[in-house]
Amino acid sequence: MYLWFKLFHVFFIIAWFAGLFYLPRIYVNLAQVDAAAEPAEYARLLGMAQRLYKFMSPFGWLALVFGVAVPFANGWWAQGWVHVKLVIGVLLIGYQHICRAHLRRFENRACRHSHKFYRVFNEIPVLLMIGALYLVMFKPF
Query: How far apart, in whole angstroms, are the C-alpha atoms of residue 80 and residue 85?
Result: 9
Are 67 and 89 within 8 A, CB to CB? yes
Query: How far apart, in whole angstroms, are the C-alpha atoms of residue 30 and residue 22?
Result: 13
Are 63 and 17 within 8 A, CB to CB? no
Closest to 100 measured CA to CA, from 66, 34, 36, 52: 52
Query: How far apart, in whole angstroms, are the C-alpha atoms of residue 84 and residue 88?
Result: 6
- Is 9 one of the annotated binding-site residues? yes
Integer-rounded Cα radius of gyration of the chain: 17
Query: How far apart, in whole angstroms, are the C-alpha atoms of residue 27 and residue 49?
Result: 8
Binding site listing: 9, 85
Binding site listing for heme: 9, 85
